[in-house]
Amino acid sequence: MEDLKNTHLDNFNIIIDCGHGGINSKGVYTTAPNKMHTFSDGEVIYEGVINRQIGKRVFEFLEELGYCPVYVVHPDDSRDLPLKRRVNYINSFDPKNSIGVSFHSNASPGHNARGHEIWTSVGETRSDILATYIGEEIIDEFPEIRFRPDFSDWDLDKESQFYILRKTLCPFVLLELLFFDNKKDAELLKSPNYQKRVAWRITNGIIRYLKTLR
């Protein structure tokens, strides 16, 4: 724990972007009917709510260790900000003094896919180093869970969704943590134990990257 504490980076921005919307004061999911899933037993899961819960844990771990995380949208703010506004905000920070992580969970047409994915922009950049460290931590923590790596055979459909990766100027990765529309993955995503473990490992991956600076 001690060796993870921030000792050398003053005012370095770690931008936490929790994808999609949350539940507003009226109890309404602001991204409905998208980015949510209703299982056959009636249980409903909201991707944006899970993204906020895990992003918040990472934020808090980083803060405890003396780093400077910043939210694009605070987890208590249910708004689903358009991507362009998210990107403009992220790019308002000095790219040389910032990194960013976007929190998402995946879905598949048959609701049967499972596993973790990490995405970066096309081509080799500093983002790949950040993605590698976070990926290694996640694989080490969850060896039993399939890890779907970001290979060079880029799927164009997927890329078109990832405006945020193409437009952000600082090193930036997008995490797809499990598949929220798969029953087994959804159970994990909702569990405080999974959330804490994955958030801690993401924090460790971020810090490993930060240790390479200066």
Q: Which of 52, 57, 86, 104 binds Zn ion (CB under 5 A)?
A: 104
Q: Can you give the length of the chain in residues?
A: 214
State the nearest-atom distance from the C-beta of 206 to Zn ion, in Å: 20
State the nearest-atom distance from the C-beta of 195 to Zn ion, in Å: 16
Q: In angstroms, what is the C-alpha Rg of the chain?
A: 16
Count of residues binding Zn ion (CB under 5 A)? 2
Stretch that binds Zn ion, among 65-73, 80-88, 99-107, 140-148 (CB under 5 A): 99-107
- For 39-53, give one letter per residue: b (16+ CB within 10 A) or e: eeeeeebbbbbbbbb
Pairwise CA distance, residues 188 & 186, whole Å? 5
CB closer to Zn ion out of 67 and 119: 119
| Binders in 11-70 for Zn ion, by CB under 5 A | 19
Stretch that binds Zn ion, among 61-69, 104-112, 160-168, 191-199 (CB under 5 A): 104-112
Nearest CA to 16 among 57, 49, 46?
Answer: 57
CB closer to Zn ion out of 51 and 132: 51
Cβ neighbors of 77 (< 8 A, separation 6 or more) are 22
**Residue 4 gets which letter from DSSP?**
G
CB closer to Zn ion out of 9 and 113: 113
State the nearest-atom distance from the C-beta of 20 to Zn ion, in Å: 6
Q: Within 10 A of 192 (CB to CB), how many other CB atoms are there?
A: 9
66: left (phi over 0), alpha (psi -120 to 50) or beta: left
CB closer to Zn ion out of 65 and 164: 164
86 binds Zn ion (CB under 5 A): no
**Would you tell me which residues interact with Zn ion (CB under 5 A)?**
19, 104
